[in-house]
């Protein structure tokens, strides 16, 4: 804890100075900067080589902090009560007098926000006098980082500091729900569609906007390991890495398991770590067996389809 305290102090120093740092969250590691500062948030886009039109998710400590920037309604409170802090983001109306930098929202009147549950990052947010804009700490379109060493692999010395919070427990990005008009899911992620739908009306299907209509033209390629990926494969080619959903009795050198026993949550957690491992082994391509399209399987398939484009 002592070590954490001195690291948190370091983090605060950098952030108060308009620098970007790596932070752990339960979903993936973030590249964080003061969301109220134009200078700090511009650096996020430059470091990630992220298109300016792709808005950032802002991370808050408490409802009181959030109230300064956003308009909140009943739907928001229902979901907040059930899932926060945790791997869910909301698109909300921005208040006219909010201090959020225009870089964060791409000058829109809406903003994506979330309350991360990771203890270290909550301790940091509690002390700071501003919320943190934090997209995943990877170069645009690449695999998201789930540990401090992944962040260092992405940015090397280009960022001066990363808080070490161990491996991300969820391992995939947050589920994004838009609460502008009728609630809709904009991105599948760390909370299953089903659990969110249940909060509104039993068994009511929420619209899932597959193409991000709020951010037109956002690249479809994402989460890419930089080599071809083939989906729904039964038999891999000889020189190919093969990703399987559950452990088999027999094994081969090129076999990678996402979970021990077909557990889709565990598989989601291990997805980016596995892709990164394979990328380093210099395989020429990746084959993946069919993954059931239910629960976290839906999130995994969403990422794999984009990674394979």
Among Mg ion, ligand AMP, none, the one that 57 touches (CB under a kind-dependent 5 to 8 A) is: ligand AMP
| 77-116 positions binding ligand AMP, by CB under 6 A | 91, 105, 108, 110-112
Annotate the chain with DSSP letters as a single string: -HHHHHHHHHHHHHHHTT--EEE--SSS-EEEEETT-HHHHHHHHHHHT--TTSPPEEE-S-HHHHHTTEE--HHHHHHHHHH-SSSEEEEEEEPTT----HHHHTT-SEEEEE----HHHHHHHHH-SS-EE--BSS-TTBPPP-SHHHHHHHHGGGSS-B----S-SS-SPPEEEE-SSS-EEEE--SS-HHHHHHHHSTTPPPEE-SS-TTSTT--S--SB-SS-EE-S-SS--TTSEEEEEE--SS--TTEEEEESSS-HHHHHHHHHHHHHHHHHTT-S-EEE-----STHHHHHHHHHHHHT-
Stretch of 49-57, 247-255, 256-264, 294-302 contacting ligand AMP, by CB under 6 A: 49-57
| 138-197 positions binding ligand AMP, by CB under 6 A | 173, 176, 186-187
8 A C-beta contact, residue 138 and residue 48: yes
Residue 283 CB, shortest distance to Mg ion, in Å, is: 23
57 part of the interface to ligand AMP, by CB under 6 A: yes
How many residues bind Mg ion (CB under 5 A)? The answer is: 1
Q: Pick from 25, 41, 136, 270: which binds ligand AMP (CB under 6 A)?
A: 136
Nearer to Mg ion, 8 or 172 (CB): 172
Residue 188 CB, shortest distance to ligand AMP, in Å, is: 11
| 123-142 positions binding Mg ion, by CB under 5 A | 136
Among Mg ion, ligand AMP, none, the one that 79 touches (CB under a kind-dependent 5 to 8 A) is: none
- Name the closest residue to Mg ion (Cβ): 136
| 213-232 positions binding ligand AMP, by CB under 6 A | 214-215
Nearer to Mg ion, 30 or 85 (CB): 30
Q: Which two tokens stand for residue 117?
A: 């549950």
Among Mg ion, ligand AMP, none, the one that 105 touches (CB under a kind-dependent 5 to 8 A) is: ligand AMP
Nearer to ligand AMP, 54 or 263 (CB): 54
Residue 144 CB, shortest distance to Mg ion, in Å, is: 6
Nearer to ligand AMP, 35 or 244 (CB): 35
Interface positions with Mg ion (CB under 5 A) = 136
């Amino acid at each position: 804890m002592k070590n954490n305290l001195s690291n948190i102090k370091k983090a605060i120093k950098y952030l108060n100075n308009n620098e970007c740092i790596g932070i752990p969250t339960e979903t993936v590691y973030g590249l964080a900067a003061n969301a109220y500062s134009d200078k700090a948030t511009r650096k996020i886009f430059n470091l990630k080589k992220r298109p300016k039109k792709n808005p950032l998710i802002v991370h808050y400590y408490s409802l009181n902090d959030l109230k300064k920037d956003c308009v909140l309604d009943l739907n928001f409170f229902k979901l907040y009560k059930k899932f926060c802090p945790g791997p869910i983001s909301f698109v909300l109306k921005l208040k006219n007098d909010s201090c959020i930098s225009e870089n964060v929202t791409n000058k829109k009147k809406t903003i994506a926000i979330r309350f991360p549950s990771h203890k270290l990052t909550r301790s940091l947010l509690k002390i700071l006098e501003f919320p943190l804009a934090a997209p995943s700490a990877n170069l645009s379109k690449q695999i998201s980082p789930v540990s401090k060493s992944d962040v260092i692999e992405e940015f090397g010395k280009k960022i001066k500091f990363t808080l070490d919070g161990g491996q991300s427990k969820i391992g995939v990005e947050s589920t994004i729900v838009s609460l502008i008009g009728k609630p809709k899911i904009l991105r599948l992620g760390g909370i299953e569609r089903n659990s969110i739908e249940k909060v509104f009306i039993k068994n009511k299907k929420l619209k899932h906007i597959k193409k991000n209509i709020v951010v037109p033209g956002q690249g479809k390629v994402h989460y890419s390991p930089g080599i071809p990926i083939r989906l729904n494969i039964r038999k891999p080619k000889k020189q190919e890495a093969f990703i399987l959903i559950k452990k088999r009795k027999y094994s081969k050198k090129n076999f990678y398991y996402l979970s021990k026993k077909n557990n889709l949550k565990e598989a989601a957690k291990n997805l980016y770590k596995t892709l990164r491992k394979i990328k380093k082994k210099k395989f020429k391509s990746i084959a993946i067996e069919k993954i059931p399209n239910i629960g976290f399987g839906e999130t995994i398939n969403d990422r794999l389809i984009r990674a394979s484009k």
